[in-house]
């Protein structure tokens, strides 16, 4: 091969490489744009945030100083996020628990797995010393109540840890829509259905909408190796920032009217989105005209 041919081949390879880079950048930009749009459309409306605050406040008012709210599984975690953002003076535990609503799953779980899960609960503070500082404190198990099986099966496990947990101090603080409230006990906190779906149902479809992870009985034996804090999705990070910003906003502007159900507009979040779009436009301009 002559020197001219070698130089031509080198130029050709460089052109192909540049073309591949341009293609990769195109798809990366398109995916980033899709991600930004998805995050923006996944934020809570102002009405949904108001409903989350109402439910969290009602849970606070139903409990007493020293009590513990135990948010069970993934369904109530956005309520827990709002509860913590409001800085209500109650102890909060978020305990992963999956599959408890399926009776067959509970019955067929090996005893060794139950023992392992009880050890896991003890490591989270549900142990014999739970009542040492305050013998009169209560633990309220917060979950969406549909059949009630999940909460009942969990309460059975907790009460096996120590006799100190009993029907007097280990209580259910359930929530659900109006249909579930009518079919269950009268103490259920009724939640507006759209907010209920947005906070509880989407995690069943896509993990990226939920704050927590699932934790089924076949994993209980290896709970020490389980990653309970994986990297959060962009949607989760944006929602957490939105709740924190919204709570701060209502503290500063007490008595202000809601935003008519529109997505709250936060300057910092809009700035990030605008910066990403401008960056995309610049890169595309370079690819097309430079």
- Whether 136 and 164 have beta carbons less than 8 Å apart is answered as no
Tokens representing 288? 């097309």
Q: Is 276 within the bounds of a domain?
A: no
Asked whether residue 92 is assigned to any structural domain, the reply reads yes
Q: Which of 13, 14, 34, 49 is nearest to 234 (CA)?
A: 34
Structure tokens at 265: 């507009």
State whether the Cα torsion 60-87-264-27 is positive or negative: negative
List the CATH number of the domain containing 116.
Answer: 3.40.50
Q: Is 27 a member of any domain?
A: no
Q: Which bin fits 87, alpha (ψ -120 to 50), beta or left (φ > 0)?
A: left
Measure the CA–CA gap between 87 and 92, rounded to whole angstroms.
11
Alpha-helix runs per DSSP H in 62-212:
77-85, 103-107, 111-123, 149-161, 178-183, 193-196, 202-205
Residue 229 inside a domain? The answer is: yes
Give strand pairing partners of 94. Answer: 71
Distance CA 168, CA 259 (A): 42
Q: What is the pTM of this model?
A: 0.74
Q: Which residues pair with 91 in a beta bridge?
A: 68
User: Could you list the residue range(s) of the whole structural domain that residue 182 is in?
Assistant: 46-248
Q: What are the backbone dihedrals phi and psi of residue 248, each rounded to the nearest 5 degrees, phi first?
A: -60, -40
CA 80 to chain centre: 9
pLDDT value for 220: 93
Q: What angle do CA 94, 221, 73 make, to 5 degrees?
A: 20
Secondary structure E strands in 75-115: 91-95
270: CB partners within 8 A, 6+ apart = none
Buried/exposed 133-156: b ≥16 CB within 10 Å, e otherwise:
eeeebbbbbbbbbbebebbebbbe
Instruction: Please report whether residue 11 resides in a domain.
Output: no
- Other CB atoms within a 10 A radius of the CB of residue 226 amount to 13
Asked whether residue 217 is assigned to any structural domain, the reply reads yes
106 domain-assigned: yes
User: pLDDT of the chain along its 290 residues, tens only?
Assistant: 555 555 545 545 555 555 555 545 544 555 555 577 888 888 999 999 999 999 999 999 999 999 999 999 999 999 999 999 999 999 999 999 987 656 455 667 888 998 999 999 999 999 989 999 899 999 999 998 877 788 888 988 899 898 899 989 999 999 988 776 666 655 789 999 899 988 886 555 567 888 888 898 899 999 999 999 988 888 899 999 999 999 999 988 775 444 444 444 444 545 444 454 445 444 444 444 44
Q: What is the 3-state secondary structure (H, E, C) of 244-282?
A: HHHHHHHHHCCCCCCCCCCCCCCHHHHHHHHHHHHHHHH
Coil, strand or helix at 241:
helix
Number of domains comprising the chain:
1
pLDDT of residue 185: 57
Q: Judging by beta carbons within 10 Å of its beta carbon (0-12, 13-18, 19+), is residue 281 exposed, middle or buried?
A: exposed
**Residue-level pLDDT at 219:** 93
d(CA 146, CA 25): 47
Report the pLDDT value the prediction gives residue 119, as an integer from 0 to 100.
95
> Does 73 fall in a domain?
yes
């Amino acid at each position: 091969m002559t020197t001219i041919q070698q130089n031509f081949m080198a130029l050709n390879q460089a052109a192909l490489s540049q073309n591949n880079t341009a293609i990769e950048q195109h798809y990366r930009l398109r995916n980033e744009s899709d991600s930004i749009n998805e995050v923006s459309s996944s934020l809570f409306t102002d009405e949904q945030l108001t409903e989350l605050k109402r439910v969290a406040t009602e849970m606070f008012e139903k409990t007493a100083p020293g009590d513990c709210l135990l948010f069970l599984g993934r369904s109530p975690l956005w309520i827990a996020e709002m509860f913590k953002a409001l800085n209500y003076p109650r102890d909060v535990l978020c305990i992963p628990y999956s599959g408890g609503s399926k009776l067959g799953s509970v019955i067929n779980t090996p005893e060794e797995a139950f023992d392992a899960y009880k050890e896991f609960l003890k490591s989270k503070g549900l142990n014999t010393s739970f009542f040492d500082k305050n013998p009169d404190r209560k633990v309220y198990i917060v979950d969406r109540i549909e059949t009630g099986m999940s909460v009942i099966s969990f309460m059975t496990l907790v009460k096996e840890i120590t006799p100190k947990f009993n029907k007097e101090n280990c209580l259910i603080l359930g929530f659900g829509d109006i249909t579930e409230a009518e079919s269950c006990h009268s103490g259920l906190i009724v939640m507006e259905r759209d907010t209920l779906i947005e906070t509880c149902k989407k995690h069943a479809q896509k993990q990226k909408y939920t704050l927590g992870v699932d934790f089924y009985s076949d994993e209980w034996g290896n709970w020490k190796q389980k990653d309970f804090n994986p990297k959060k999705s962009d949607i989760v990070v944006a929602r957490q920032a939105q709740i924190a910003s919204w709570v701060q906003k209502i503290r500063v502007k007490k008595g202000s009217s809601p935003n008519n159900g529109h997505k709250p507009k936060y300057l910092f979040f809009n700035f990030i989105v605008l910066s990403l779009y401008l960056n995309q436009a610049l890169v595309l301009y370079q690819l097309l005209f430079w």
